[in-house]
Amino acid sequence: MKVVFHEKYKEAYTSDPAAAPGRMEAIASALQGLYEFVEPKPATDNDVLLIHTINHLNYVKSLTRVYEVALLAVGGALKAAEIAFEGEPAFALIRPPGHHASPNECWGFCYFNNVAIAVEKLMRTGKAKRAVIVDFDLHFGDGTNEAFKNRRDVEYHHLPALDFTSDLERFLEAKDFDVIAVSAGFDRALEDWGGLMSARDYEEVGKVIREFSQRKCDGRRFAVLEGGYNHEVLGRNVKAFLEGFK
């Protein structure tokens, strides 16, 4: 199990909750010493254009401080996907998040759709023919859904508020895939905006994904950070998820 991380993710590039000081530190400190940390390289504009339009790319370029870290976030997701196909699960501890970034627009603290770009690159390079994206963030990933809405080779699935473990099992049982990608949002936590999931719930979701990946796609799985805003519990909940996911 590897954690993809870069010190530049600690920089507060805007004033929104995803960019708040201390957020990355809360997670990194909980995971240090437990997993190998690896650094990503920034993505290229061509990587971004696998999902986004040139107009959207140019819009984010105009946000000078955001653009640099957003490319690095995409690079982190790409690195995690690469590691998954080298035989290890990976977690991209990155920001800005991405699942509200559609091909030509974005909102909700997102700029480029990290997980969508990583999955699309796997498809374009022939590493994967079919993929599923599981999203357990509090909010529906409209950007990811929009990116793949007319596709049969990539399916996006957002977990419901209730009965999420059983729903996840039913979804994964019914699908065929070469990799499971995860939009890992932790704002469902009992002490966060959603008030829905305990640390044990996060561990169980991670375990279900691990077991289905081992049974159906030789263990190929990776996750990328989306939401999660209570710094006091964020590290604990990410750690619990990875305990099940690793």
Active-site residue set: 100
Query: Are the C-beta atoms of 74 and 225 separated by less than 8 Å?
Result: no
Cα separation, 76 vs 39, in Å, equals 8
| Alpha-carbon distances of 137 from 106, 190, 196, rounded to whole Å | 17, 13, 11
| Alpha-carbon distances of 192 from 19, 106, 188, rounded to whole Å | 16, 23, 6
Cα separation, 242 vs 91, in Å, equals 8
Q: What token pair was written down for 38? A: 């690896």
Per-residue DSSP letters for 222-246?
A: EEEE-----HHHHHHHHHHHHHHH-
Instruction: Tell me whether the omega of the peptide bond preceding residue 160 falls within 30 degrees of 0, making it cis.
Output: no
The phi, psi pair for 134, rounded to 5°, reads -100, 130
